Amino acid sequence: MVRMTGSQILLECLQREGADTIFGYPGGVVLPLYDTLPQFPAIRHVLVRHEQGAAHMADGFARASGRTGVCLATSGPGATNLVTGIATSFLDSTPMVAITGNVARTLLGKDGFQEADITGITQPITKHNYLVMRAENIAMAVREAFHIARTGRPGPVHVDIPKDVFQEEAEFEWPDELSLRGYRPTTRGHAGMIRRAAEAINAAERPIVIAGHGVVWGEATDELVALAEKADIPVITTFLGIGGFPETHPLSYGFLGMHGMYHANMAADEADVVVGIGMRFDDRAMGRFSDFNPGATIVHIDIDPAEIGKNLPTAVPVVGDVKRVLPDLAERLEARDRSPWLRWIDGVREEHPSLEIRETRRLIPQQIIRALYEETEGRAVLATGVGQHQMWAGQHYFYDSPRKLISSGGLGTMGFELPAAIGAQIAVPDAEVWAICGDAGFQMTMQELAVCVDERLPVRIAIMNNGYLGMVRQWQELFYDENFVSVAVTQPDFRALAAAYGIPALRVETRAEVLPAIREARATDGPILIDFHVDQEENVWPMVPAGASLAETIEAPAKELAR
Amino acid sequence: MSLNANGARPRRHTVVAIVEDKPGVLQRVAGLFRRRGFNIESLAVGHSEFAGLSRMTIIVDGAGAPVEQVQKQLYKLVDVVKVNDLTSEDAVERELALLKVRCNNVNRHELLEIAGVFRADVVDMATGSLVLQAVGDADKINGLIRMCEPYGIRELSRTGVIAMTRGQKTTTVHESEPEAIARVHQSQGRRVESAELPFSSD
Ligand SMILES: Cc1ncc(C[n+]2csc(CCOP(=O)(O)OP(=O)(O)O)c2C)c(N)n1
Ligand SMILES: [Mg+2]
């Protein structure tokens, strides 16, 4: 055993957990930790420009690579700035360890300078959190934090450490074993339930799989493909499940939900057996719960037992790790030909094409995303913000593998795009990463442009500049009688802004300029920004109005198709 | 008792949770109930038979949320080791109450008679009031309170219900599985599988 300071123990543990990158921002109480950082040259510290960016970068890092992201902030305002990013990670179940400093132990609870009860604040938005009161407890807390963050249903774990605990010395001992008696995720599905699930599916005429984020995090794509192919079952995904099943596979029918494909929503509504895999029957995906396909038998496979029966009555629950459950289930499925059902969905798709991009002289974001898909041959990683551009990025790019679409689905956090793209680029340096930004969302975190420069990251930044809080404008147009209030947003000259950071930038105003700009961006070594001045009033279709059922999906009205 | 939307009577559930005796665990549980809209009628916490583990008895108003969700959400808390719903078990439920009731020389006797019927102890007596201590299930304590109300209840303090199953069945946490396997192994002179243990780890 060696005597080490709390700071040294923390960094040693991070290193042992395989964390080679910390996204952070210093401040008073974490100075002892920063003072120690140079002793650990294998750990790369990325200096962000706002702690929210640090959390989103850690999240983007995790989503792109499957590894646990780490972010760090000082007490008080530093810590509270992380909150949006932690909540974003929590609602999408991504593995993150957020570390904060706090005031010295003797000052805790005294409302001193920069004290915030940050563990009290993060408690409902973390999978678990720690306030570590002694240096000798740091190793166990960090060990547990990583274990909890990345096992079972992943999620963010927060570790708060008072300043003097960083300075305190203790014997360092790496805990070989964990004793978390209250945390034992179920991994293996119940054999009886798997049998019942198989019986339900085997008896089905019109089964459908709805695959979610759990397939991505459970790394169960191959298992899902094998299952679907064996039993000839069409697969749709949730928005976060995109890429969990290859979208160019003949059994892939896109994603469902509020802006899902018409045929996917209809298929979910028409199926006799709905098999939810690694998903949580969220309202944005399922529409009004009370009217979701009342005739369907619901089979639900998920690692989190609390999701089962939470929103919809489940006939067959299977709690377990999808990677282990799917092969067991597939083994019991009969090889079947379900072409009548597949042809039915094909027919709906042909009659109600959701992904057809109309001929128009206007520059519309759908064309840009599709052009990007074709140019990159589907191999890029897209990190999006929240709003219309997010939905188009989900619809018009086709993702053949997981971890290619990085987006805040659950919390819907504007400003996620740029920092998430930065985190992804750092995690997967060889990937071609595009930040697909809203003009408004970009302005929430654009200060992180500086990180692209500092770290020489070749992130390609594409702003879908419609001059509006586009998605909100769409709702005001459709549901608030075109009473447009506070949705037109002024922007800086994004090209000049990029130039101020020394980042090259292009402006695109016509269709003809799209391809050359994409090509130029791809050929550029380093960050580059493209300001796409797109049509201002384009709406996202199809759409399930808030509170409506999937069966009530509305398609683009004729007058919009004629624009 | 009011009727809920389905016209069914809201059901009181008695949920017992064994939790790590760590700072913040009470806030985690209380926060969970608040956030998910589960109503706590009463909550009692104290030590359990194991050092380091506390036992919470939570009376949940089942009208607010399906109790299955309550249990599952509780289980998701890392500090919660075990959860049991004792509602349909043969269980003893007890609560302790202290009541300071107004009285005078004229009615003191009556009040003592009432206390006797409810087997409540008189733990303090002064000229204008006396303090009764009652132990029992919620019905019994509610009954005593009703009877004392006409005299004037100056103070009331209830501990909240604690509960325990009758007979062999327990809500307890066994020692860790590897240790138990080793013990059975020693006593029987052979290796045992975890399935043979009298408890399961999940
Ligand atoms: C932090 C945050 N604030 C507010 C919202 C509500 N909101 C959802 S979409 C949207 C507009 C987004 O505008 P922009 O980034 O330009 O994207 P667009 O919809 O125009 O593509 C708003 C305000 C949100 N999702 N996140
Ligand atoms: Mg916009």
Q: How many helices (H) and strands (E) does chain A have?
A: 23, 20
Q: How far is ligand 2, taken at its centre, from the CA of residue A391, in Å? A: 12
What pLDDT, on the 0 to 100 scale, is given for residue A112?
A: 95
Q: In chain B, positions 2-21, which contact chain A (CB-CB < 8 Å)? A: 19-20
Cα torsion B20, B23, B26, B29: sign: negative
What pLDDT, on the 0 to 100 scale, is given for residue B64?
A: 64
User: Which whole number is the average pLDDT over A214-231?
Assistant: 98
Q: Are B119 and B130 in contact (CB under 8 A)?
A: no
Instruction: Classify burial at B41, counting beta carbons within 10 Å of its beta carbon; exposed 0-12, middle 13-18, buried 19 or more.
Output: middle
Q: Which ligand is nearest to the CA of A470?
A: 1
Q: How many helices (H) and strands (E) does chain B have?
A: 5, 9
The interaxial angle of helices B67-76 and B25-36, nearest 10 deg, is 140
B39 and B61 belong to one structural domain: yes
A156 and A11 belong to one structural domain: yes
Higher-pLDDT residue of B7, B159: B159
- Preceding peptide of A317 cis, ω within 30°: no
Q: What are the structure tokens assigned to A413, written together? A: 């956090």
Residues of chain B found within 8 Å of residue A158, distances taken between Cβ atoms: none
What pLDDT, on the 0 to 100 scale, is given for residue B192?
A: 43
Residues paired with residue A207 on neighbouring β-strands, in sequence order: A273
A396 and A426 belong to one structural domain: yes
Query: Scanning the structure block, which residue is given the tokens 């971890």?
Result: A403
What pLDDT, on the 0 to 100 scale, is given for residue B62?
A: 76
User: Which whole number is the average pLDDT over A57-85?
Assistant: 98
What pLDDT, on the 0 to 100 scale, is given for residue B194?
A: 47
Output the domain CATH number for residue B43: 3.30.70.260
Output the domain CATH number for residue B123: 3.30.70.1150
Query: Scanning the structure block, which residue is given the tokens 């985190």?
Result: A423
A40-56 tens-digit pLDDT: 999 999 999 999 999 99
Q: What are the structure tokens assigned to B99, written together? A: 């009541």
Q: What are phi and psi of A76, to 5 degrees?
A: 55, -115
A8-28 tens-digit pLDDT: 999 999 999 999 999 999 999
Q: In whole angstroms, how large is the CA radius of gyration of chain A?
A: 24
**Ligand 1 and A441: CB distance under 6 A:** yes
User: Which whole number is the average pLDDT over A418-434?
Assistant: 98
Ligand 1 atom 14 nearest Cα: A438
Q: What share of chain A is helix, strand, coil (3-state, %, to 5)?
A: 45, 20, 40
A58 and A164 belong to one structural domain: yes
Q: How confident is the model at residue B202 (pLDDT cuts 50, 70, 90)?
A: very low
A154 and A257 belong to one structural domain: no
Domain boundary among A324, A351, A378: A351
When divided into structural domains, chain A yields a total of 3
Q: Are A71 and A23 in contact (CB under 8 A)?
A: yes
**β pairing state of B91-102 and B162-165:** antiparallel
Output the domain CATH number for residue A74: 3.40.50.970
When divided into structural domains, chain B yields a total of 2
Ligand 1 atom 2 nearest Cα: A414
State the residue range of the domain holding A241: 191-351
What pLDDT, on the 0 to 100 scale, is given for residue A179?
A: 84
Closest CA to A27 of A9, A43, A47, A42: A47
Q: Which helix (H) or strand (E) holds B22?
A: none
A309-340 tens-digit pLDDT: 999 999 999 999 999 999 999 999 999 999 99
Range with the poorest average pLDDT among A481-490, B2-11, B51-60, B86-95: B2-11
Closest CA to A185 of A160, A149, A156, A216: A149
Asked if residue A234 has pLDDT above 90, the reply is yes
Q: How confident is the model at residue B199 (pLDDT cuts 50, 70, 90)?
A: very low
Q: What are phi and psi of B82, to 5 degrees?
A: -150, 145
B72 and B112 belong to one structural domain: no
Any CB–CB contact under 8 A between B75 and chain A?
Answer: yes
Q: What are the structure tokens assigned to A505, written together? A: 């930038």
Give the residue numbers in A contacting B (CB under 8 Å), as ranges.
119-120, 123-124, 127-128, 131, 148, 179-184, 186, 304-306, 308-310
Q: Is A14 domain-assigned?
A: yes
Q: Is B84 domain-assigned?
A: yes
Domain boundary among A142, A172, A202: A172
Any CB–CB contact under 8 A between B166 and chain A?
Answer: no
Reported ipTM: the value is: 0.91
Q: How confident is the model at residue A145 (pLDDT cuts 50, 70, 90)?
A: very high
Q: Which ligand is nearest to the CA of A84?
A: 1
B46 and B81 belong to one structural domain: yes
Asked if residue B12 has pLDDT above 60, the reply is yes
What pLDDT, on the 0 to 100 scale, is given for residue B9?
A: 42
B69 and B105 belong to one structural domain: no
User: Which whole number is the average pLDDT over A510-525?
Assistant: 98
Q: Is B55 domain-assigned?
A: yes
Q: How confident is the model at residue B173 (pLDDT cuts 50, 70, 90)?
A: confident
Residues of chain A found within 8 Å of residue B179, distances taken between Cβ atoms: none
What's the rounded Cα separation, in Å, for the pair A205 and A102? Answer: 59
State the residue range of the domain holding B97: 92-162
User: Which whole number is the average pLDDT over B101-122?
Assistant: 96
What pLDDT, on the 0 to 100 scale, is given for residue B174?
A: 61
Q: Is B67 domain-assigned?
A: yes
What pLDDT, on the 0 to 100 scale, is given for residue B196?
A: 43
Output the domain CATH number for residue A227: 3.40.50.1220
Give the angle A227-A230-A232 at the CA atoms, nearest 5°. 95
